[in-house]
């Protein structure tokens, strides 16, 4: 089933990991085989929704710092698709959503998870930007413009994290989860599974510890976009729900 998904994208360490999460990604890629992927990455920001259109092999964007040399030598030679980019652009324009084309390669919100899910790099990928400063309802509307893409064999992915606060990260990946991260994640899980759209669109005021869990929303809004792109009435499900790592980082992932 190609219904839209929200995937935690992991840290750059995900590239070389063999973990419960990367094994989940491998199973995901074996079970779900779209003809193309449209992915909204938390690491691709722009004031205007921007589509990275190309038919060539994507460039690599190593948007992280201080890692060993091998992290900057990774290649993931997936191609883009100008045809799919045009489909996305047309749908957004029909909803009067401002959109532009400007090329950008695959960042670490994209290639670490794709390397595990689709190691052959044989599925075209179209990266699309996020604007974290748009209201939640507008984020959802961007997704709504893309409803039904699965009927054309196109998988919509929102790539981010439910909780993303650098000031609260413990460098020990096995550090016990902080209570606020657990409470926020539990609230999001409950509302997503209930398909309580209104509560999720008002998460900033309704969710416990929202300011601490999402001090800057670029990693959270891919969830709202992916949710908006799903077919109304379809029951969401949890794809992966491992432990909260580094004390505060939830890798909870959904299919909508």
Distances in Å between the Cα of 49 and the Cα atoms of 138, 189, 236, 248 are 11, 27, 25, 29
Domains: count for the chain: 1
Report pLDDT for 243. 78
Domain CATH number, residue 44: 3.40.830.10
CB neighbour burial string for 180-205, b if at least 16 within 10 angstroms, e if fewer: bbbebbebbbebbeebebebbbebee
Report pLDDT for 170. 58
Report pLDDT for 171. 66
Q: Which residues neighbour 54 within 8 Å (Cβ) at sequence distance 6 or greater?
A: 79, 80, 82, 103
CA dist 245 and 256 (Å) reads 24
CA dist 34 and 59 (Å) reads 21
Report pLDDT for 34. 98
Question: Helix, strand or coil for residue 82?
Answer: helix
On the 0-12 / 13-18 / 19+ scale of CB atoms within 10 A, 102 is exposed
Residues of the chain with pLDDT under 70: 166-175, 246-248
Distances in Å between the Cα of 175 and the Cα atoms of 66, 168, 245, 246 are 22, 11, 7, 5
pLDDT digits (tens, 9 = 90+) for 74-130: 999 999 999 999 999 999 999 999 999 999 999 999 999 999 999 999 999 999 999
What range defines the domain where residue 45 resides? 5-255
């Amino acid at each position: 089933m190609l219904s839209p998904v929200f995937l935690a994208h992991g840290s750059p360490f995900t590239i070389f990991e063999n973990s419960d999460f990367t094994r989940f990604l491998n199973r995901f890629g074996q079970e779900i085989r779209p003809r193309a992927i449209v992915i909204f990455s938390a690491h691709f920001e722009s004031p205007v929704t921007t589509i990275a259109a190309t038919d060539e092999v994507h460039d690599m964007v190593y948007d992280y710092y201080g890692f060993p040399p091998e992290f900057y030598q990774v290649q993931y030679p997936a191609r883009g698709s100008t045809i799919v980019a045009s489909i996305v652009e047309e749908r957004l324009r029909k909803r009067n959503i401002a959109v532009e084309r400007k090329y950008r390669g695959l960042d670490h919100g994209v290639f670490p998870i794709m390397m595990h899910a689709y190691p052959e790099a044989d599925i075209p990928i179209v990266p699309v930007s996020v604007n974290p400063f748009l209201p939640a309802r507008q984020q959802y509307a961007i997704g709504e413009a893309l409803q039904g893409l699965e009927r054309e064999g196109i998988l919509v992915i929102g790539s981010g994290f439910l909780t993303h606060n650098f000031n609260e990260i413990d460098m020990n990946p096995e550090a016990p989860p902080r209570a606020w991260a657990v409470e926020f994640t539990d609230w999001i899980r409950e509302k997503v599974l209930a398909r309580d759209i209104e509560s999720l669109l008002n998460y900033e005021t309704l969710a416990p510890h929202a300011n601490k869990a999402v001090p800057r929303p670029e990693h959270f809004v891919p969830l709202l976009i992916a949710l908006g792109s799903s077919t109304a009435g379809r029951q969401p499900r949890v794809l992966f729900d491992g432990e909260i790592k580094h004390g505060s980082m939830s890798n909870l992932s959904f299919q909508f």
